[in-house]
Amino acid sequence: MIIWLMGLPGSGKSTLATALKESFDKADVQSFVLDGDVLRKGICADLGFSVKDRSENVRRIAHLSKLMSQAGLVVIVASILPLEELRVLAREIIDDEAYYEIYLKCPLNVCQTRDPKGLYKKALNGEVKDFTGISAPFEEPVQPDLVIDTNKLSGEQSLEIILQSILLPEQGRGL
């Protein structure tokens, strides 16, 4: 199973990915977090933020996720995935693995206020180029499986909604 948390920088992807992993740990379900921020320091360190590089970044993450999922892990991806064409690419690669697109929806001005890494500030100063939300686009996901409003919901509430929707047996999509 692959759970892809997507959204603007500061929308809550890393926070929720960590919380989801903790929940899976407690339930003795083997899981692994692939965080864009972390991958870009290693396996994707050669890539920048042009559409071409983001596409290569997503291609690598999707293939990695698929392999890990096939090995029996629940894979939690935390990556912006800003364009619909990138979402199509990810879906095509992941193919028949159980896959959930979860959009962490949060207004740009709120993400900007949160600015956990100070990158919005740098982007507005021109110190960071092609920054999603400021100088690079973020398209609203067209067909997410779930939308979580992280502006209105707390981290705990967001986590609970994600767990409920993934584990709901009547949808035939449980673990």
Ligand X SMILES: Nc1ncnc2c1ncn2[C@@H]1O[C@H](COP(=O)(O)OP(=O)(O)O)[C@@H](O)[C@H]1O
Ligand Y SMILES: Nc1ncnc2c1ncn2[C@@H]1O[C@H](COP(=O)(O)OS(=O)(=O)O)[C@@H](OP(=O)(O)O)[C@H]1O
Q: Nearest to residue 57, comparing CAs of 90, 30, 29?
A: 90
What's the alpha-carbon Rg for the chain, to the nearest Å? 16
Within positions 131 to 150, which residues make up the interface with ligand X, using CB under 6 A?
Answer: 150
15 binds, among ligand X, ligand Y, none (CB under 5 to 8 A by kind): ligand X
Within positions 115 to 144, which residues make up the interface with ligand Y, using CB under 6 A?
Answer: 117, 119, 128, 130-132, 136
Residue 138 region, left (φ>0) first, then alpha (ψ -120 to 50), else beta? Answer: beta
Answer for which of 1, 3, 16, 89 binds ligand X (CB under 6 A) is 16
Least distance between ligand X and beta carbon 1 (Å): 20
Question: Whose Cβ is closer to ligand X: residue 118's or residue 126's?
Answer: 118
| Buried residues in 138-174 as b, exposed as e (16+ CB within 10 A) | beebeebebebebeebeeeebbebbeeebeeeeeeee
Give the range of 15-23, 24-32, 36-44, 67-75 binding ligand Y by CB under 6 A.
Answer: 36-44
Least distance between ligand X and beta carbon 43 (Å): 18
Identify residue 123 by its one-letter amino acid code: A
Question: Whose Cβ is closer to ligand X: residue 112's or residue 150's?
Answer: 150
Cβ-contact 153, 147 below 8 angstroms: no
Interaction of residue 65 with ligand Y, rule CB under 6 A: no
Give how many residues touch ligand X by CB under 6 A. Answer: 17
